[in-house]
Amino acid sequence: MISFLENLDRKLFLLINGFHSEPADWFFYYVSQKFTWVPFYALLLFMCIKVLKKQWWLVLIFIPLLITATDQISVHLFKNMFLRYRPCQNLELKDQVHLVRDYCGGKYGFISSHAANTFGLAMFVWLLLRKSFRYWGWILFVGFAGITAYSRVYLGAHYPADVAVGALLGVSLGFLFYFFFQRIRRKLSPNSDAIIRRDK
């Protein structure tokens, strides 16, 4: 069963990574860069300030803690434990991998820290802002995290399973951090119970 899943994962990787073009190379290379998303992060911060009002500063504490958690867990509890080579580091596969600007990443790839970080952030911020963004907000946040995760497979840095499990970790931690965020809000403000009920 494990052999079947690994085979399927490899075939799906080769399908995604093999379907490439020069414009797509350029696009996904920059999608995968953290600084590309700075304007988007600035917009999210603006929305948090608008929605959370006097408590907006809490996101400046929780988001860095969340990203640190997703990043460190993905490295120390997964990459350093499972020791699964990235496709571009796998000697049996590397000659078939399409790389962009010779970008590969570190030696091990399970799980994707990019996927864990972006899905964690997307889940946490969407829960905070879901009333403001309504239904289309879910599409926005899933699109942001999903396209970043897809870029990791396209660039040859991860297998699809790497980003899938990374996304699951990110979503779980994003929800957990939101739960603690709401508890802190309730303790900091006597009127926060009404605010939190209105946010739900």
The confidence band for 193, taking pLDDT boundaries of 50, 70 and 90, is very low
- The domain total for the chain is 1
**Cβ–Cβ under 8 Å, residues 73 and 115:** no
Half-sphere exposure of 26 (CA within 13 A, CB side): 2
The pLDDT value given to residue 106: 87
Alpha helix stretches (DSSP H) within 53-112: 59-73, 80-82
The fraction of the chain above a pLDDT of 70, given in percent, is 92
- Coil vs helix vs strand at 108: strand
What confidence tens digit (pLDDT) does each residue in 110-158 have? Answer: 999 999 999 999 999 999 988 877 667 778 888 999 999 999 999 999 9
Q: For residue range 32-82, list pLDDT tens digits in order.
A: 998 999 999 998 899 899 888 888 899 999 999 999 999 999 999 999 999
Query: Which CATH number belongs to the domain containing residue 65 in this structure?
Result: 1.20.144
The residue range of the domain holding 155 is: 2-199
> pTM for the complete prediction?
0.89
